[in-house]
Chains A and B, each alone.
Chain A
Amino acid sequence: MGVKVIPRAARVYIGCALLGAGACALPALRPGAAIPWSTVALLAALYALCELPARCRLLGRGLGGSVPMGTGSFFPVLLAAALLLPPSAAALTALPGSLLARVDEPPAAPRRAWRAAATALAVWAAAHAAGALDSAEALGHGPDVPDFPYALLPAGAAALTFCLVLTALDGGIRAAADGLPPRAAWCGLLGRALAPHTVHGLAGLMMAVLWRSAYGPVSALFVLLPMYISCWVFAQYHRERAAHQATIRALVQAVDIKDRYTRGHSERVGHASVLIARELGMPEDRLDVVRFAGILHDVGKLGVPTRVLRKDGPLTPEERRIIELHPEYGHEMVRGIGFLGDARAAILHHHERMDGSGYPYGLHGDEIPEFARVVAVADAFDAMTSTRSYSRARPVPTAVAELERCAGTHFDPRMVAALVSALHRHGWQPAVTADTADDPAPSAEHVPPPREPLPVQPKEHA
């Protein structure tokens, strides 16, 4: 994505696609071609109308896995065109919609041109596939009943062709513009696109059947309403999802209000936890949970009185006991948040140690949930490599050496090894601490809080 300057190869590629699209549409413009212009105009206008508001709302939100659903919600119109019209005319219906729709990233003009050319080519190919299977007869006309299980065949062929051509062209532009190797560019595109296109194919077929039926084009519009609504819901979904991530951040920021020296710590622990988990080969959906566990691990500090958290001077045993309640407070707070799943256990147990000397429950080895062991290592690593008011930041190698020294007694050696190899691979930006920058009178906390893993501090309880 994000190409600001378009490479030469991509320019040539887009140029070829435009020429191809032009060649496809040309027969329709020749004098004497029997084209039902009213149908073409209606479908083209319909597609343009559908795409305009939908794209305005949708784009700017996450691309990612949502692409097939997000940008192609109105492909049924195009597939209906492929079933109803001759190939050259069908290619024309795709143009206004693709040219008018909003573009999310600059440069807009080549992106628009590319989208129009690719869609037109795909529709043209789909119309050819449908035509080869006699779609015109299968759809019926007026009072004639369509030939039904057979009509599924041209519709399926059209949808499949449309999907194949579009993904092939998309993979090509990714290879040309981003310089990806072709295999990587195509990888996964088709698998993600097949299911939505099947649905679009069915909706397109129904549109075409109703368009031709005695009830006329008006009834075909009804097919679009559910599609439009699901598109709208999808946009809402993205908006709410963004809000929900902001709410998670708010929980973290509420901690920051009380305990200023941890600023940025939560996010970094989340990041380091993901590094470890990815190294361990956890699947993608588990990574999200690990990240939440890392980000929220200290949320229970909200329950610790601010006076204790910001205390100047050594903590009394009583105060230390209060601070050590924070994993339980944290667990109590996030208990009600269903989607956090195993992250909740990680929050409760992130101060357990492998030899059973941690808290709150003094669990041993494998009794400690896996995510908690991940977060414990990430937490200790970030605590050592960032500057705190009571200690300077240590360089990464020193911190790693310290972690390795405590592996087995405090930390799970597997997690430590995973962190080490992840650091080799991705490197680490230690905290550029804003902790003290905007905090004129940093609370001189010289007692490391219990998260500090180093055995310098005497153990208060087992």
Chain B
Amino acid sequence: MRPGAATVGAVHGAALLLSLAGLGATLWYGVAEPGNALAFGSLVALGELARWGASPDEREPAPLAAAGALAYALLGTSGGTATTHGVLQIVAVVVAAGLAGIVPHIARGRGPGRDHLARRVLTVGFAALCFQPLYNSGALVEHLGQSPPYALFLLLLLVLTALCDAVLAALLLRARTGFPYGPLLRDELRALLGIGSAVCATGSVMALGVAAAGLWALPVLAVPLLLTQVSFRRYAAVRTVNRQTIASLARATEIAGCTPPGHARRVAALSAAVGRELGLSGAELTVLEHAALMHDIGQLSLVDPVAGGATALLPSGEQRRIALLGGEVVRRTGVPEAVALVVERQADPYREQPLPARIVRAVNAYDDLAGGDGPVAALDALERLRLATARDYHPDVVECLARVLARGGAAGVTSAPTG
């Protein structure tokens, strides 16, 4: 069993338990204010339906559903009259509507991941638990009234909910990948500024809008959020295209016979894993990944290809020349300057290098030396990197690489001594 399996199991189990409790209680006691439940339920179902075309790694593929679910969790008054629905009913409605909305997607084999569903249930439960008992007991209206502080209180709750969601997401990711928790959480928190904040704002504005204007506020507010979703989609699509183009550029060296097949991709994946382990996140990781993909591009300028494409075996002067040529090409591509810098500096002695260049250097050398020839070659390659830590490879990076490999972070190695 993988070490993270217990965490994943606990999160999924909690979500399942909460859903079952909600559905059971709602079936047993009946639905309070069925009109509201139906309206919000339809919104959530529609929002889930509207996730077509979402790429699997999108952060929030169904923002409308998320916003609708949060709004229902924070719904106190509806068109001036107080509501009485409780936490369990909210969970039940969100779960039932969500399931109804994703059935067509599952039928086409493109359903959302279980992590995503579990997170949705738990965060909605969290928001409802923070709000409904306070509201239903009357304490909230007594202290804040139906006034601006009430609106701010809703916003505060949503911020808390978003934080809770980020913590949960980072926890699940850590359990699945084994990367350190800090950078993952930082990534998640940074992502909140994007679609996360739009979801939160729309959730609170829906709750307030329904409080002030009744259920008509829902369709009126859903339209602007759909617009936001569309523009996020387009943005995501262009990002995908950029990644694909950079990957193609990276494959150019393979097709030209300069490097062995899959080299650029392997170096990129392994560099990203090492970078994460060393605490890089967000934009820094992207720079590292792109630089790793394109690190061999300078070889295109050579009149004769290097034997086997393994630059790590060349004299250092030649390595640096190829690196400089590569930096020149990358500089023209319009990817951030930082990427070109990493490509350019990849062959320098590690003391003069920035961290991403150190990573690319070590990982590239590892892949060149190991050549994907099974565990013996891999161990041998690591040993040779360790022997060259005086000048060429940063000792910490090499040890980190060994740790990542030991964990099975890349193919070829199942275990390696850590020192």
Binding site for B on A (CB under 8 A): 69, 140, 143, 145-146, 148-149, 151-152, 198-199, 202-203, 205-206, 209-210, 213-219, 222-223, 225-227, 229-230, 233-234, 236-237, 240-251, 253-254, 257-258, 299-300, 302-307, 310, 329, 332-334, 336-339
Contact = CB atoms under 8 A, between A and B. Distances in A.
A251 B252 contact: yes
A142 to B, nearest CB: 9
23 contacts: A69-B231, A151-B216, A198-B223, A206-B205, A209-B209, A210-B208, A210-B209, A213-B208, A214-B212, A215-B146, A215-B151, A216-B148, A222-B208, A240-B239, A244-B334, A246-B335, A247-B245, A247-B333, A251-B249, A253-B329, A303-B257, A305-B304, A332-B251
A250 B239 CA distance: 17
B88 to A, nearest CB: 27
Interface string B134-162: 00000000000111101110010000000
A257 B213 CA distance: 65
Nearest to A337: B244
Interface of B: 79-80, 145-148, 150-152, 155, 194-195, 197-198, 201-202, 204-205, 208-209, 211-214, 216-217, 220-221, 223-225, 227-228, 231-232, 234-235, 237-242, 244-249, 251-252, 255-257, 297, 300-305, 329-330, 332-335
A333 B258 CA distance: 14
A234 B255 contact: no
A307 B211 CA distance: 74
Nearest to A310: B303
Given A145-B212, A230-B227, A254-B297, A219 B221 contact: no
A337 B146 CA distance: 54
Contacts of B303: 306-307, 310
Contacts of A218: 148, 151-152
Contacts of A214: 145-147, 212
Contacts of A243: 242, 334-335
B220 A143 contact: no
Nearest to A143: B80
Nearest to B247: A336
A226 B225 contact: yes
Contact of A209 (B213, B232, B238, B304): B213
A245 B241 CA distance: 10
Contacts of A217: 148
A300 B221 CA distance: 50
Nearest to B79: A145
Contacts of B198: 225-226, 229-230
Question: For B150, B198, B213, B221, which residue has the most chain A Cβ atoms within 10 angstroms?
Answer: B213
Contact of A337 (B79, B202, B216, B245): B245
B252 A333 contact: yes
A226 B202 contact: yes
A250 B333 contact: yes
A305 B299 CA distance: 11
A233 B217 contact: no
Given A215-B208, A215-B212, A225-B201, A244 B245 contact: yes
Given A206-B205, A210-B209, A247 B238 contact: no
A141 B281 CA distance: 48
B201 A222 contact: yes
Contacts of B148: 215-219
A218 B212 CA distance: 14
Contacts of B242: 240, 243-244, 247
B205 A210 contact: yes
A250 B305 CA distance: 20
B252 A227 contact: no
B127 to A, nearest CB: 16
A250 B238 contact: no
Question: For A227, A251, A257, A332, which residue has the most chain B Cβ atoms within 10 angstroms?
Answer: A257
A226 B245 contact: no
A148 B235 contact: no
Contact of B213 (A148, A222, A226, A247): A148
Nearest to B242: A244
Given A222-B205, A234-B231, A247 B334 contact: yes
Contacts of B225: 226
A249 B332 contact: yes
B213 A219 contact: no
A148 B201 contact: no
Contacts of B235: 233-234, 236-237, 240
Question: For B216, B241, B252, B257, which residue has the most chain A Cβ atoms within 10 angstroms?
Answer: B252
Contacts of A152: 216, 220
A250 B334 contact: yes
A237 B234 contact: yes
Closest 6 CB pairs of A and B: A246-B334, A250-B333, A225-B201, A213-B212, A148-B216, A219-B151
Contacts of A229: 194-195, 197-198, 201, 228
Nearest to A240: B238
A171 to B, nearest CB: 25
A336 B239 contact: no
Contacts of A258: 300-301
B231 A230 contact: yes
A237 B227 CA distance: 14
Nearest to B215: A148
Contacts of A233: 194, 228, 231-232, 235
Nearest to B221: A206
